[in-house]
Amino acid sequence: DAGVIQSPRHEVTEMGQEVTLRCKPISGHDYLFWYRQTMMRGLELLIYFNNNVPIDDSGMPEDRFSAKMPNASFSTLKIQPSEPRDSAVYFCASSLGGLTEQFFGPGTRLTVL
Amino acid sequence: EDQVTQSPEALRLQEGESSSLNCSYTVSGLRGLFWYRQDPGKGPEFLFTLYSAGEEKEKERLKATLTKKESFLHITAPKPEDSATYLCAVRRFNDYKLSFGAGTTVTVRA
């Protein structure tokens, strides 16, 4: 099993640019979660999907953030425009059923200059 | 609002020196307490789920326990490869979100 796959692993961009992070969940999993991890705030849930439908986006910090899941094997998190305070590690996780353990991807380290 | 507090923030151990990590929580209707391990530059790796007070789970040198207000992760005779950040998370009833603590960074010296 390949596990959760995220790309890119590292992203460096300039303030104001659009950033798109990608995630492929574990095959067969029906829940997908996007998290952000910073030293100051730890690991925070941004949004989660069930069967490709967004269920709770209350953790999305601003309208600059958006997430989509066009099919069961792909999701994107987009930041437009990006700001230096968006610098963090972004994780995608998936689970089979919402009440079981979540499996995390390796993360995308985003640096906004 | 759910609160998860982990202590200590950092723990330095000698190889073979057993110790415990604490995770205290305030959540309305606990529906699972989770322990994860995170190595530098990697995503959290699932260790255990505990559902009810009195429950215990073990994996190699790790044992997790749960009471109504806190959970402990006991590390018995740790080895350098047990060095990592250990994260605790809670899920409330009728919700699929996990609320994470800040973690305890464990360093085991040979």
Local mean pLDDT, 10-residue blocks, chain B (110 residues): 93 98 93 96 96 95 96 98 97 89 97
Q: Which two tokens stand for residue A98?
A: 């919402």
- Mean local confidence (pLDDT), A58-82: 96
Please give the pLDDT value at position A38.
96
- Mean local confidence (pLDDT), A63-71: 96
Alpha carbon of A46: minimum distance to chain B alpha carbons (Å)? 10
Provide, rounded to the nearest whole percent, the portion of chain A with pLDDT above 70: 99
Query: How do beta strands A10-13 and A108-112 pair?
Result: parallel
Nearest to A43 among B41, B87, B96 (CB): B87
A97 band by pLDDT with thresholds 50, 70 and 90: confident
For the segment A21-53, what is each residue's pLDDT rounded down to a tens digit? 999 999 999 999 999 999 999 999 999 999 999
Sign of CA dihedral B90, B95, B96, B97: negative
Please give the pLDDT value at position B8.
97
Please list, in sequence order, all residues whose beta carbon lies within 8 angstroms of the beta carbon of residue B109, skipping any fewer than 6 positions away: B12, B13, B14, B15, B80
Alpha carbon of A36: minimum distance to chain B alpha carbons (Å)? 11
Q: Is A96 in CB contact (< 8 Å) with chain B?
A: no
Please give the pLDDT value at position B13.
97
Q: Is the peptide bond before A8 cis (omega within 30 degrees of 0)?
A: yes
3-state SS, residue B79: coil
A1 band by pLDDT with thresholds 50, 70 and 90: low
Contacts of A42 in chain B (CB under 8 A): 100-103
Please give the pLDDT value at position B70.
96
Highest mean pLDDT among A13-17, A98-102, B28-32: A13-17
A33/A4 Cα distance (integer angstroms): 11
Nearest to B43 among A50, A56, A91 (CB): A91
Give yes or no for residue A90 having a pLDDT over 90. yes
Please give the pLDDT value at position B101.
96
Hey, which residues 23-42 in chain A have their CB within 8 Å of chain B?
Answer: 31, 33, 42
Chain B residue at shortest CA distance from A38: B102
Please give the pLDDT value at position B94.
81
Please give the pLDDT value at position A110.
98
